Amino acid sequence: MARFVVKEAVREKVYPKINIAGAAGSGKTYGALLTAKGMAKEIKATTGRDAKILMGNTEASRGRYYANEFTYDIADLEAPYNPELFIELIDYAVDNKYDILIIDSSSHEWDGKGGCLELQQQAGGTFQAWKKVTPRHSAFIDKIVSSPITIIATSRSKAQYEIEKDERGKASVTKVGTGIHQREGYDYEFTCFFNIDVKSHMATAEKDNTHLFSNGDFMITEQTGINIMRWANSSNIEPEKTRVTATDSQTNTASLDEIKKQIVSKAVELGGTKNKTLMDTIKEFVPSGNPNAIGDVETAQACLEKLNTIGG
């Protein structure tokens, strides 16, 4: 007699687990907050209540850089950054009925002070020492996967520098993110795993169970969070239908992303943050000075048109 019961699979409630990776300056924290804000908007639209966002912050004052643009609670995490600290954070968020938890950054659990790599050294530094550490790290991963809460984690990419040449042969050094500061296989545990390019600030979906981000690179916006939450709240949907719906719902987002690409390109052409006129102009449309924060096509188009008048 079989030891299992077979029945028709039915879509159940989904709590998305998202990871945003990137090198320093790529926009991980900002992207996480934009995604969370979009998710909160969708929760408000469908339930009528205000969603609660909690950030577990390992990044000192950087966790408050955008407090004037977003509404969220913050819990400052201090070393030692052992797995149990992050498990406690997740349990706290669940117990206090937060809808969305941001872990910024999850890399500290692995290679921060008191993290798994340090714990392994304290246990003797041998291969056998991992027998003591691996179960603790696995408990952290299991807590992320199984918890009834939406989680957006960030992770640091390992910095690598590449030499690029322009059409005139002039060389420049560009920082790129390759790999992450976490244990191998960490990315398998997430619904979506995004990697942000430090130069263009465009994201690539390295893993995407939603099929929402299969059309190439994209800019993380509030709509990213809205679309993920809509996917999570859908039931009895077929993957092929999901892809069609995603294309329809992201038409405006794709247009917005394309204009943002042009804004970034124009900003680079004009000298970036060193050009005060450029930055003052961008801030007329987005107070942070970050084009990624522009949330609608009309504003983005107006910004681009004004940028095109600078210097000529």
Q: Mean of the pLDDT values across residues 262-271?
A: 87
Place of tokens 């392994």: 120
Q: Mean of the pLDDT values across residues 152-159?
A: 86
- pLDDT value, residue 113: 95
As its CATH architecture, domain 17-249 has 3-Layer(aba) Sandwich (3.40)
Is a pLDDT exceeding 60 seen at residue 177?
no
Is a pLDDT exceeding 90 seen at residue 311?
no
Highest-confidence segment of 13-27, 51-65, 85-99, 272-286? 85-99
Instruction: Decide if 145 contacts 96 (C-beta within 8 A).
Output: no
Instruction: Decide if 271 contacts 278 (C-beta within 8 A).
Output: yes
- pLDDT value, residue 288: 78
Question: Torsions phi, psi of 99, nearest 5?
Answer: -85, -35
Question: What span, in angstroms and rounded, lies between the C-alpha atoms of 133 and 130?
Answer: 5
Question: How deeply is 270 buried, as exposed, middle or buried, from its count of CB atoms within 10 A (0-12, 13-18, 19+)?
Answer: middle
Q: Mean of the pLDDT values across residues 120-144?
A: 95
Q: Mean of the pLDDT values across residues 295-301?
A: 82
Q: Where are the domains of the chain?
A: 17-249, 252-307
Q: Quick: pLDDT tens for 211-248.
A: 999 888 899 999 999 999 999 998 544 443 333 344 44
pLDDT band at residue 178 using 50, 70 and 90 as cut-offs: low
- pLDDT value, residue 237: 40
- pLDDT value, residue 176: 52
Q: Mean of the pLDDT values across residues 143-171?
A: 82
Lowest mean pLDDT among 54-63, 156-165, 241-250: 241-250
Question: What span, in angstroms and rounded, lies between the C-alpha atoms of 154 and 107?
Answer: 8
Is a pLDDT exceeding 80 seen at residue 171?
no
Question: What span, in angstroms and rounded, lies between the C-alpha atoms of 41 and 224?
Answer: 11
- pLDDT value, residue 271: 84
pLDDT band at residue 196 using 50, 70 and 90 as cut-offs: very high
